[in-house]
Amino acid sequence: MSDSAILCRSCGSAELRTFLSLGKTPLADALVTADQLDRVDPTFPLDVAFCASCTLVQILEEVPPQQLFVDNYLYFSSFSPQLLRHSREHVEALVERRRLDSSSFVVELASNDGYLLRNFLPHGVRVLGVDPAPDQANAAREAGVETLEQFFGVDTARRILSEHGPADVIIANNVMAHVPALNDFVGGMAELLAEDGLITVENPWVKDLVEHGEFDTIYHEHFCYYSCTSVDALVRRHGMFLNHVEYFPDLHGGTLRWHIGKREQVSPEARRMLDTEVAAGLTAFGYYADFAGRVESIRTTLRSMLEELKAGGAAIAAYGAAAKGSTMLNYVGLGTELIDFAVDRNPWKQGRYMPGVHVPIRPVEALLEKQPDYVLVLAWNFLSEILDQQDEYRRRGGQFIRPVPTPEIL
Q: What does the binding site for ligand DWN look like in residue numbers (CB under 6 A)?
A: 75, 79-80, 174, 221, 252, 320-324, 344-346, 349, 364, 379, 381-382, 385-386, 389
Q: How far is the CB of 210 from ligand DWN (least distance, A)?
A: 17
CA dist 166 and 293 (Å) reads 48
Residues 333, 337, 339: CA angle, nearest 5 degrees: 80
For residue 296, CA distances in Å to 142, 220, 284, 290, 348 come to: 45, 19, 22, 10, 32
Rg for the chain (alpha carbons), in Å? 21
CB of 140 or CB of 322, closer to ligand DWN:
322
CB of 75 or CB of 400, closer to ligand DWN:
75
Q: How far is the CB of 159 from ligand DWN (least distance, A)?
A: 25
Q: How far is the CB of 151 from ligand DWN (least distance, A)?
A: 15
Q: Which residues of 205-233 are buried (b: 16+ CB within 10 A; e: fewer)?
A: bbbbbbbbbbbbbbbbbbbbbbbbbbbbb
CB of 11 or CB of 28, closer to ligand DWN:
28
CB of 41 or CB of 168, closer to ligand DWN:
41
CB of 108 or CB of 221, closer to ligand DWN:
221
Q: How far is the CB of 231 from ligand DWN (least distance, A)?
A: 16
Q: How far is the CB of 391 from ligand DWN (least distance, A)?
A: 13
CB of 110 or CB of 245, closer to ligand DWN:
110
Contact call for residues 128 and 148 (beta carbons, < 8 A): yes
Q: What is the largest CA-CA distance in the chain?
A: 65
Q: How far is the CB of 103 from ligand DWN (least distance, A)?
A: 32
Dump the DSSP string for 241-281: EEEEEEEETTSTTSEEEEEEESS----HHHHHHHHHHHHHT
Contact call for residues 306 and 316 (beta carbons, < 8 A): yes
* Beta pairing, strands 126-130 & 105-109: parallel
